[in-house]
Structures are given as C-alpha cells and as structure tokens.
Amino acid sequence: MLPPFLFDLDGTLADTLADIAASTNHVRSANGLPPLPGAVVRTFVGDGARTLLARALHEVLPPDGAARERALDRAFAAYAEHHQVQCTGHATLYPGALAHLRALHDQGHPLGVVTNKPERFAVPLVAHLGLGELVRVVLGGDSLPVKKPDPGPLHEALRRLGHRGPGATMVGDGVQDLRAGKAAGCRTIACLFGFGEATKLRAEGADHYWRAFGEPV
C-alpha cells in the first residue's frame, strides 16, 4: 500500500467561508451584534467551531469561567442548528482539488480528511463535495477527545487507513495542520491559498508549499 494523504477541510480542500460566516453571523445577530465581514470571520477559523464562536462573540461573553462556558454552550447550539443546513450552502472545492485527489486515489494512496470542524458538519460536507468515494476516513474536531494541533486525530486516521510507519503526508492551510503533521511524523504541505496567513505558515515551516491546490511554489 502506498502512503496515505491526509487533508484538512476548510480552506484546504474547499472554500467554505461563506457558510461559516453565515452561521457565525446568525449567532451574532441572536446576541444583538452586527454581522462581521467574511475577511474577519476567516481569521477565526481553524481551531473548531466553539473557539470560532468565542472569538466572534468576545464583546458579549461573560468573563467568568462557568458563565462563559454556559454562554458558549448556548451559542454553539444555535450555530449547530443553523450550520447543519448551511454547511453545504455555498461550499465549493478549490480548483484542481478533485482531479488531484482522484489521481492520488487511482495511484493507490489512501485518503483521509482530518479537520477541526465538528464531525456532524464534516461528514455531510465531504459527501456534498463529491469526495465520498475517494476519502475513506473523515475525522472531525469532536471525533476524539483531542483535536489538531494534537497529533492524535492524525494517528487515528492513519490507523483506520491501515497505515503503520513513516511516509504519510498532511496537507493543510493552518499552523494547526503543520504542527499536528510534524508531531505525527508526517511530511507536511502548507496551502498558502487557504484561510491561514501565508506569513504564519512560512514561519511555522513545512516540507512543501502550494500556491494553488496541487501546485508547488
């Protein structure tokens, strides 16, 4: 078996920003806050939906720990109800992504998605994008007790793909992806076209960089 490729989802395989922003602004509206432009919401993405909401609602969240967590629980419930439908509203694969994944699959590389997006959104999104027959494993940010940058989800994805030993590759647009990949012993590819800041990705360091999907710098 050839070594696997693991991919982040938001900002790596697909442009999902419009849907994330729509659900984020739905929650902001419910809390009496004006909508944020997509460019701002983009900076909140990468560490999971709950952290995104903590960043998006910072003006109104209580400072106290317990009260803050209860407020985030309510915010996440509202976000989840909205995003369950919204998550596939406008999402599109980046140009070249489908062809690249098909080529890897046809060559015999097992493919997986490891994202910090909750699994309840990641699984239907992968199917909506037409990747269901190519991607054998989808792990979300709540699939395990830990999420990226912890290497645990990558280890679990590789285990489910039947891979042992070196040689796997992690592809992502965030420093979380690169840190998780390095910690898991994977080759890393940083996507400079995604939601993450290119300067931060270069400062973090990766084995390779893509200026567009599958296109090395």
Give the Cα separation of 69 and 50 in Å (integer). Answer: 10
Question: Is the distance from CB of 17 to CB of 197 less than 8 angstroms?
Answer: no
Euclidean distance between CA atoms 208 and 217, whole angstroms: 8
State the catalytic residue, choosing from 8, 19, 173, 177: 8
Q: Reduce the DSSP state of residue 201 to 3 states and report it.
A: helix
Q: Which residue has the tokens 């993450």?
A: 196
- Taking the mean position of all CA atoms in its chain, how far away is CA 20? 11
Distance CA 53, CA 14 (A): 21
Catalytic (active site) residue 173? no
Active site residues: 8
